[in-house]
Structure formats: structure tokens, C-alpha cells
């Protein structure tokens, strides 16, 4: 489905209509022929789909009515951004799935209880990375004094993009899970690169903060990039 923004005429589009995909990068808006990606049915893909299906069923069959109401209250209080940067509201079901699927991905326990803090966790403006060929590790520097850092059950999930040429100036994904920073971790910490690091490559990493166990919220993503060193 394509999102369209109207003004005096057509201002911006994102998504696909018929055989054309509309998007935007640092150079501006563009349109390209729509392609259907190959479905590799990898073990990781199957695991993610299984997790989504599990939490969808959990919402309908297991979660209490009071908790569903709590998630709805949280959703009504939290404003998100769509692909056109417009302010939107997700449903309580959407937030429940996004939080618990992410926590499962980074190896954290589930948080079925609705959040009591009616806002997204703060991003970490100090987040930065460096990467070494010798160790094949990504060093993550972060602010360990932020509120999530006082809670062991909270975590920062770190995801690595496929390394690019040093001349590449932007990266939109995809990202692969590299590791998580525990809530009681002391900066800096390292995570193992899930893909081979080569000297001089340009590397991007993306992170999100998941709070828990009773305050089950998930931040918006934040990124940093570096050139791989020896």
C-alpha cells in the first residue's frame, strides 16, 4: 500500500501502486519498478514469523482484558511517525506485538503487562560504534546513566548492516541482530559482528532500547556509522 501526501498537487508518496514503487532517499523522492522479493524461507525468517504468530494468538487467547485495555491506553497516549513523517497512532495490539517480538529477538523475557509510563523510552544521543578487523567485534559506546541502565531486565538491542564501500554515504538496511547490551552494562561494551568485517569498509549499526520487565516499552531506532579499522 502506498502513502500519498497531497498539497497544491502531489507532494510525496511512499509505497507501491500497481507496478511502481515510490520512495525517498537523501537525493529526494524517486519511483522505480516494483519487484517481488524472493522468499528464502530461511530458519531466521521462519523463527520471526513463528514469534509474530505466537504473540498474535497470545493477545487474543491469553492476555487479560485489563491488560488489553492498558495497552490501548498506552497506544492512545503515544504518537508515532509513518514513512512520510506524519504523526499517527498505533493500536494497543500493534505496540504489544512490536515490544514483545523485539524482546524475543534480543533474548529477553516477555512483558505481557501494559506499560505504566505513557511514552516511548528515550533514544541514546551518545550511541556510537567502532569496529575492528583483528577482533571482529563492534565496540558500542552508550550512556549507562540513562534510566533504562538501572534495570537489569531492560536492554539495548544492536543490529549491524551489511558492510559497504567506504565511499557510501547512507544506508537504509537491512540490519542483522548482533547482540544486546544489558540494563546493568557499563559503557563501552562489545558485540560480535554477525558478518565479516574487512579493513576500510563503511559500517552502520542501529539500536533500540527495550525497557522491562514491568514497564514494557520500546524506543524508536537510532544509528551510528564508522569505518572499519585494523
Q: What are the structural domains of the chain? A: 3-33 (no CATH), 43-105 (no CATH), 128-227 (2.60.40)
Q: Which residues pair with 23 in a beta bridge?
A: 30
Total length of the chain: 230
**Predicted local confidence at residue 136, as pLDDT:** 98
Is the omega angle on the peptide bond into residue 174 within 30 degrees of 0, that is, cis? yes
pLDDT classification of 67: cutoffs 50, 70, 90: very high
Residue 27 has pLDDT above 70, yes or no: no
Which of 101-105, 109-113, 203-207 is most confident? 203-207
Contacts of 192 (CB under 8 A, 6+ apart): 136, 137, 138, 178, 179
d(CA 176, CA 193): 9
pLDDT of residue 152: 81
CB atoms within 10 A of CB 92: 20
Give pTM, 2 decimals.
Answer: 0.83
Amino acid at each position: 500500500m502506498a502513502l500519498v501526501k497531497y498539497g497544491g498537487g502531489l507532494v510525496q508518496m511512499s509505497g507501491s501502486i500497481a507496478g511502481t514503487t515510490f520512495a525517498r532517499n537523501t537525493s529526494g523522492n524517486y519511483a522505480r519498478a516494483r519487484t517481488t522479493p524472493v522468499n528464502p524461507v530461511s530458519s531466521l525468517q521462519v523463527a520471526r514469523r513463528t514469534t509474530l504468530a505466537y504473540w498474535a494468538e497470545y493477545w487474543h487467547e491469553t492476555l487479560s482484558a485489563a491488560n488489553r485495555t492498558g495497552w490501548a491506553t498506552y497506544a492512545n497516549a503515544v504518537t508515532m511517525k509513518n514513512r512520510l513523517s506524519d504523526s499517527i497512532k498505533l493500536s494497543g495490539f500493534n505496540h504489544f506485538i512490536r515490544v514483545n517480538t523485539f524482546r524475543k529477538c534480543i533474548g529477553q523475557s516477555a512483558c505481557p503487562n501494559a506499560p505504566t509510563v505513557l511514552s516511548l523510552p528515550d533514544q541514546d544521543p551518545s550511541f556510537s560504534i567502532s569496529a575492528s578487523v583483528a577482533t571482529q567485534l563492534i565496540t558500542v559506546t552508550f550512556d549507562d546513566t540513562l534510566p533504562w541502565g538501572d534495570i537489569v531486565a531492560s536492554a539495548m538491542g544492536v543490529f549491524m548492516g551489511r558492510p559497504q564501500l567506504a565511499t557510501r554515504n547512507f544506508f537504509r538496511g537491512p540490519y542483522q541482530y548482533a547482540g544486546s547490551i544489558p540494563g546493568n552494562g557499563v559503557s563501552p561494551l562489545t558485540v560480535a559482528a554477525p558478518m565479516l568485517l574487512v579493513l576500510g569498509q563503511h559500517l552502520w549499526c542501529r539500536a533500540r532500547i527495550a525497557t522491562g520487565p514491568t514497564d514494557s516499552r520500546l524506543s524508536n531506532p537510532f544509528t551510528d556509522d564508522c569505518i572499519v579499522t585494523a
